[in-house]
Amino acid sequence: MLALGKLLELTLAGREPAEKTQLTVDGVRMRWLAEGALEVRPPEARDNGTDLLLSAGIHGNETAPIELLDTLIHAIARGELKPRARILFLFGNPEAMRRGERYVEQDVNRLFNGRHEHSGGSEALRACELERLAASFFNIPGRYRLHYDLHTAIRGSRIEQFALYPWKEGRAHSRRELARLRTAGMEAVLLQNKASIVFSAYTYDKLDAEAFTLELGKARPFGQNQQVNLDKLKSCLEHLIAGTNADQPADLDGLQLFSVAREVIKHSDAFRLHLPADIENFTELEKGYVLAEDLADSRWVIEEEGARIIFPNPNVKNGLRAGILIVPATEESLA
């Protein structure tokens, strides 16, 4: 196997490869761009015009998707998986990955769309570098751009695998990509309704990629992801890479759609979230339930029919989102 196929090993060791560019026996070029960043380019005659960005490890302790990307990189380096798409593999937060922690000082996935410019430290610099790498990769006009940012969640979930679809004023949702997500094993998609500061929102808004954050189960340490079944996603990514994904009808049957009703923002240290510590994502909340309280007697009371909570986290920094209230949506709500 080519040395550049060991991107994860290099990243966890904090080493640069001796050779920055290598070719497989089939003429696929693998090029190391920066720590945790590998570009894969097929021979020109086999290039199908797709640019695929696959990122994981934006949170360093979310290891199942990191291991999935490692498997794909190994297969390409051995010549077992023959790309027809250009691919950029990114391991987002190498130092946090080495420590086995979500982040070191601040959450990288809250530093995109220019947010890093108002912050400091190594993780703000990394967010800036990731934006630069993505912008450079998606700079060729006329190509199909797709980004999957792969994550696992802090907590369990009533719906284990789901996607978040970013929002941009006037931009329509892609039924083709929604159908592909269903094929990839996603059980639900959350349609967002405002601009965001996460990585997929940056590539969607600023770089015109179809982009999604994929949540793939619960975060566990390296080597302990046997309970996370990513077989459908792995098969989908292999077909995307090899260009063997046949056109399919945009059938969304079985895919649950949700929309954002409200975000719960933590304004102060007085913030209290009235949920059990082990509550799962997509837990339903009854109307009238007092979800959270903060300064000046501010309260979040459930008013929506069928409301559910995702990503509840009272330990975020002041000013950040401590949870999202979502409600069921229909295909008619697709832009």
Domains and CATH numbers, the chain: 3-242 (3.40.630.10), 256-333 (2.40.50.630)
Cα 186 to Cα 304: distance, rounded to the nearest angstrom: 25
Pairing of strands 308-310, 283-284: antiparallel
The answer to whether residue 215 is catalytic is yes
Q: How many of the other CB atoms lie within 10 Å of CB of 312?
A: 24
Rounded CA gap, 105 and 126, in Å? 12
Angle at Cα 152 formed by Cα 151 and Cα 156, nearest 5°? 150
Would you state the pLDDT for residue 246?
66
- Strands in the chain per DSSP E: 21-23, 29-34, 37-41, 50-56, 86-91, 144-153, 161-165, 188-191, 210-218, 256-265, 272-273, 283-284, 290-293, 299-301, 308-310, 321-329
* Beta-bridge partners for 327: 259
Which amino acid type is present at position 78? Answer: R
Backbone angles phi, psi at 276, to 5 degrees: -60, 150
Residue 141 CB coordination number (10 Å):
5
pLDDT tens-digit readout, 240-285: 999 997 666 678 988 999 999 999 999 999 999 999 999 999 999 9
Is residue 62 part of an annotated ligand binding site?
yes
Strands 256-265 and 321-329: antiparallel
pLDDT for 247 equals 67
Q: What is the pLDDT of residue 296?
A: 80
Catalytic residue chosen out of the listed positions 187, 215, 280, 293: 215
Distance from C-alpha of 11 to C-alpha of 247, rounded to nearest angstrom: 36
Distance CA 20, CA 109 (A): 28
Token pair for 196: 């965001």
pLDDT computed for residue 249 by the predictor = 67
Closest CA to 292 of 322, 261, 258, 259: 322
Dist. CA 249–CA 201, nearest whole Å: 26
Lookup: tokens for 177:
């990509």
Kindly provide the b/e burial profile for residues 234-253, where b requires at least 16 CB atoms within 10 angstroms of the residue's own CB.
bebbbebbbbebeeeeeebe
Q: Which residues of the chain have pLDDT under 70?
A: 246-249, 335
DSSP-derived secondary structure letter, 207: S
SS3 content of the chain, % helix, strand, coil (to 5): 30, 25, 45
For position 184, what pLDDT does the model report? Answer: 96
Closest CA to 209 of 217, 218, 201: 201
What's the rounded Cα separation, in Å, for the pair 81 and 72?
A: 8
Whole-prediction pTM = 0.94
Backbone angles phi, psi at 216, to 5 degrees: -120, 20
Pairing of strands 210-218, 161-165: antiparallel
Size of the chain in residues:
335
How do 144-153 and 188-191 pair as beta strands?
unpaired
Res 120: pLDDT: 86
Q: What is the pLDDT of residue 155?
A: 84
pLDDT in the model for residue 119: 85
What is residue 225's predicted lDDT score, i.e. its pLDDT?
A: 78
